[in-house]
Chains A and B, each alone.
Chain A
Amino acid sequence: MAITRKQKRLAVIGGAFGFLALATTLTFVALGSKASYFYTPADVAEKGVAAGERIRLGGLVATGSIARDGGTDVSFAVTDRIETVTVSYSGILPDLFREEQGVIAEGAFDASGHFVADTVLARHDENYMPREVADSMKARGIWQDGE
């Protein structure tokens, strides 16, 4: 009787650890495949990004680069004043999306090397700039403040 209880307890504890191991594996596999890296246009030029890899592209919206096709498709250029990447996007841009403002475009390069974004994030109030953008701009000494 005592043995079976002990065995049962062992089985339960073993099951729990098995579950935890499974969850841990799942978490790290997911981190490996689902986390997206942040790139500035200069990073893209330096390191290169494989087509189809999901990234977050950050920088400023280049002046005069916003072009609408009259419909819902829009394209704009993201620049860090060193390199520029043209982004195409279909949908509604955030309220505070403007020229010379920080922006993060989430998406991937297609086979022809064109960046297609499915999400565009801009700052939420006049004090706020996407942190990655602010940091990398400051690091390159070209940040103009989020004004």
Chain B
Amino acid sequence: MVFWITAAALTFGVCLVLLAPLARGRTDAADSRVHEIEVYKDQLLEIERDMARGLITSGEAELARAEIGRKIIRLSDARDAGVVGGKPRAVGSWIGAIAILSLPLVSWGLYAATGSPGYPGQPLQARLQSDPTQASVDELIARAEAHLAANPDDARGWDVLAPIYMRLGRYGDAATAFASASRLDEPTAARLAGEGEALAASAGGQITADALERFERALALSPDDVRSRYFVALAADQAGNGEQARQMWQDMRADLPQESPWHGVIVAAIENEGTDASPGAEAEAIETMVAGLAARLEANANDVDGWQQLIRSYMVLERPQDAQAALDRARAAFGPGSPEAGHLVAYGLSLGLEVEQ
């Protein structure tokens, strides 16, 4: 309501402002030639000043004066000085009326087509202070982030947040969170291994040199950190040292207690390594990751980056039908025509997917 009143007041005010000169009727406007003569007179004065200062000689001044004098005479001779102004004419009134009428028509018409009149502003501060039970998961995370921004030395806070990021597929943030916890408190094996895993995940399952360095540091701190051992072996596998990787996994299996959840993973890794010359474990890791991502997006579709990641992953896995289906689901979730859908469609097109409009 306040918006409509303000908008109406603005429109009315502007119309009023334009009405003023129209209602004033006839106004005299000076003949432009008078202005010109004024300029020449000033130029004459300037010549005097320049001469007084010694900038020009009296001969030059005389010439210049004569030239300006001729211009003034020529102007005074021109009799056709058409004084503008004159009586108000009907056609002028019509144009004025149309002009003022067009203001509300054009502005309200255009705004109706482009604006979102009923949509209030959403300042972040106010949103974060609203009732937490009403908040979405994203908002809750944002609150945790805001808390950490205010208390950046809270290493425990980062420890809590990092796995959440990991679960949400925000691997870059997860890596940063693990690194922050390490820096603020001390680098433990768990934090380093977590950071390494996040780095690897954000590289699409590839154990990068950075990630490997984290795992190796973790192992230096705690030689039997399972996660680090597993990934160090995977790194060896990816580097083409299948035999070495296999050996490491077999050693791990021997060391692991029977009830460890890692057994299955390691057995699978060893089997894949043996059967498959192509990047087996890696592909499996990616498949698992993709499946997790797809499940997560099924639960919470409001995540453009997630969809984008999923579509790309399917393309990397050479499953274009799945990528196509994911794109269609994402479009349906955001609603065709929304900016997010537009973004994803553009993204899909750039990957060679088809989009029926």
Contact = CB atoms under 8 A, between A and B. Distances in A.
Nearest to A144: B351
Contacts of A144: 351
Contacts, number: 9
B350 A145 contact: yes
B262 interface: no
A66 B352 CA distance: 28
B312 interface: yes
A147 B312 contact: yes
Interface in B319-339: none
A146 to B, nearest CB: 9
Nearest to A63: B206
- Interface of chain A, helix or strand or loop or mixed? loop
Interface residues of A, number: 5
A143 interface: yes
Contacts of A141: 352
A144 B308 CA distance: 13
Contacts of B350: 143, 145
Contacts of B352: 141
B347 interface: yes
Nearest to B309: A147
B16 to A, nearest CB: 45
A107 B168 CA distance: 44
Contacts of A145: 312, 347, 350-351
Nearest to A138: B350
A2 B347 CA distance: 73
B35 to A, nearest CB: 33
Interface string A130-147: 000000000001011101
B23 to A, nearest CB: 52
A89 to B, nearest CB: 20
A141 B312 CA distance: 16
Interface in B208-228: none
Nearest to A146: B350
Contacts of A143: 350
Q: Which of A141, A143, A144, A145 has most B Cβ within 10 Å?
A: A145
A147 B351 CA distance: 11
Contacts of B312: 145, 147
A141 B308 CA distance: 19
Interface string A111-147: 0000000000000000000000000000001011101
A147 B344 CA distance: 13
Contacts of B347: 145
Contacts of B351: 144-145
A145 B348 CA distance: 10
A26 B347 CA distance: 45
Interface string B15-55: 00000000000000000000000000000000000000000
Contacts of B308: 147
Interface in B115-149: none
Contacts of A147: 308, 312
Q: Which of A141, A143, A144 has most B Cβ within 10 Å?
A: A144
Interface string B165-206: 000000000000000000000000000000000000000000
A104 to B, nearest CB: 20
B301 to A, nearest CB: 20
Nearest to B351: A145
A64 to B, nearest CB: 10
Q: Which of B308, B347, B352 has most A Cβ within 10 Å?
A: B352
A115 to B, nearest CB: 25
B355 to A, nearest CB: 15
A144 B351 CA distance: 6
A144 B313 CA distance: 12
A146 B297 CA distance: 23
B312 to A, nearest CB: 7
A53 to B, nearest CB: 33
Nearest to A143: B350
Interface string B290-331: 000000000000000000100010000000000000000000
A133 to B, nearest CB: 13
Interface of A: 141, 143-145, 147
Interface of B: 308, 312, 347, 350-352
Given A141-B352, A144-B351, A147-B312, 4 more contacts: A143-B350, A145-B350, A145-B351, A147-B308
9 contacts: A141-B352, A143-B350, A144-B351, A145-B312, A145-B347, A145-B350, A145-B351, A147-B308, A147-B312
